[in-house]
Amino acid sequence: MTEHPQWFTSSYSDNGGDCVEVAANFATSHDLVPVRDSKVVGGPVVGVRAAAFSAFVAGVRAGTFDAV
């Protein structure tokens, strides 16, 4: 793959560094959303299929994972 991930951290992640970054630029071309720890940029990257990541984001927006 010659394409490089373009890492993005949500503006909601300004909480002291406990964040993840995603590279959404791979979603269309590779059906993959790479995810990494923003504190360990050279560390492991988890690849999540685009549909699964979209479903996760929809669940977050819907409050599915809110603590009671």
Residue appearing with tokens 């699964």? 52
Long-range contacts of 40-48 (CB under 8 A, 24+ apart): 41/7, 45/5
Q: Between 36 and 11, where is the model more confident? A: 36
Phi, psi of 26 (to 5 degrees): -90, -10
Share of the chain residues as helix, strand and coil, in percent rounded to the nearest 5 = 35, 20, 45
Q: Mean pLDDT of all residues in the chain? A: 88
Query: CA 68 to CA 62: how far, in whole Å?
Result: 14
pLDDT tens digits, 33-53 = 999 998 898 999 999 999 999
Domain residue ranges in the chain:
19-62
pTM (2 decimals)?
0.80
